[in-house]
Amino acid sequence: MVSAAVVTAVSASCAAPTAALMQARPRERLTFVDVTVVDGEGGPPLLHHDVVVEGERVVIVRPTGAVDARGSAAGGRVVDGRGKTLLPGFVDAHAHVLSSGGALSGPGLAPAESLARWLAVGVTTVFDLGAAAADLEQLIADVDDGVVAGPRIFHTNLMITGRGSHPLGLADAMVPFGAVLVGAVLPQVAVEADIGPALDVVLEGDPDYVKVVIDRMPEGEPIMDRAVLVALVKAARARGQRVFVHAGDVDDAVAAAEAGCTALAHLPWRGALSADHARRLKDSGVVVVSTAWMWERTADLLGGRFVPTPEEERLVPANLRDAAKARPTHPALVALGHELDDNALERAAALRALLQAGVPFVVGTDSVLPAVWPGAAYVAERRALLAAGMPVSELVTAMTARPARLVAGAHADFGVVAPGKVADLVLVDGDPLQEPAALDRVALVVRRGQVVERVAGR
């Protein structure tokens, strides 16, 4: 939300490399024996099943003890699944992997360390929504080649915003001349004639989707005209692109959805969401990326109310946690904090109303931001969704199969546990459909058929 403003210009340069948190074991045949399988698509759990992984893919899902013509379960590593549940690897559908999450002027996490923290809680895929494609190219290659242990990365290219609009307004609050640095990089549109050239710039990076921003942060800065937003979404869709829209205001979110955007990159954070808004969003078919906890966490950070969670104590370096305790003093950040506080009740009501209306969600965190750190924020986000009334079966779909289909279509090769699909898997202790806290008890993570585990002593 805030540090994403300067992902390519500033944040990556603030990251300090540290020793690896997670490591991948050599790939070997894996057999999960007598495990409960939750497929990610909302089907009933498969009790007492064996799952066999060969290479990068799941090859067998069958009742324990059954004979299968595709081969026996012998050989390789055998994992006792009794009392455990196997799920698809989780997806964080809103990430900024090059951002460091440090204090405004201090060091933070290096990208590889951020990726490791996602893996530690079972996240095997992330959707980056802000970095220049060229800046991500080497990191994506390193993950795909196994040089870096990390989730698969889908990405946009540079986001498109209004002329002089968010995130330029907050960039100066982060670094000197931040608005100049960001403004020199981001495509900006003021009128419909600007749309074609802006899309040309973004599509040069061969993105998996396009991101559009219509917001004021804080109140008073310029914002994209709503008619231009609608035209931009339609133009991007006409070029065959999926479109994620960051819309701060409820009415802008509805306009983007009805124009045909694929997903709202955030729960709208400003304005009251009426029953009519909820109905129109449901009828549009748009998917909402949750980020509900991020808004509340950012409000606490800007208001000087930061208190680390147990997951942050476990996954986040102490210097980052200590830096988050200092209350920002820049006027733009103070004003944003007040506005977030003023809209807190409306945001909570909007989340409940959208859930009750049946608007589909996917889980996203907006990590990496100060106090919104990868891995820890994902655990907090899903707890926030459960507290707002999302059923745990729906939460599992929102973490797995639905985001996979969102970016890869009906034939996505990940996000489900099934023969032929990529073996991105999470084994947890217990039954999360009966006890949601079991999702926190990650026993084993598999990424493309490789077990990834925490380095001893980290």
Give residue-wise pLDDT tens across range 75-123: 799 999 999 999 999 999 999 999 998 865 567 999 999 999 999 999 9
Determine phi and psi for 244, rounding to 5 degrees.
-100, 130
Q: Using alpha carbons, select from 247, 318, 339 the residue that is nearest to residue 288.
A: 247
What's the DSSP call for residue 45? P
Return the H-helix or E-strand segment holding 387.
Answer: helix 376-387
Q: What pTM, to 2 d.p., does this model score?
A: 0.94
Give residue-wise pLDDT tens across range 172-231: 777 777 788 888 899 999 999 999 999 999 999 999 999 999 999 878 889 999 999 999
In one-letter notation, the amino acid at residue 358 is: G
Average pLDDT over residues 29-39: 97
For residue 281, CA distances in Å to 37, 88, 123, 197, 274 come to 33, 28, 28, 29, 11
Strand boundaries in 209-355, DSSP class E: 210-214, 243-247, 263-264, 287-289
**Domain 90-412, what architecture?**
Alpha-Beta Barrel (3.20)
Determine phi and psi for 331, rounding to 5 degrees.
-55, -35
Structural domain boundaries of the chain?
90-412
What's the DSSP call for residue 367? B
Q: What is the pLDDT of residue 6?
A: 44
Average pLDDT over residues 380-391: 98
Q: What is the pLDDT of residue 4?
A: 44
Record the tokens describing residue 454, joined without a space. 């925490």
Instruction: Write the DSSP string, 138-190.
Output: HHHHHHHTTSS---EEEE--S-BEETT-TTHHHHHHHSTTHHHHHHTTS-EES
Asked whether residue 18 carries a pLDDT value surpassing 60, the answer given is no
Give residue-wise pLDDT tens across range 338-357: 999 999 999 999 999 999 99
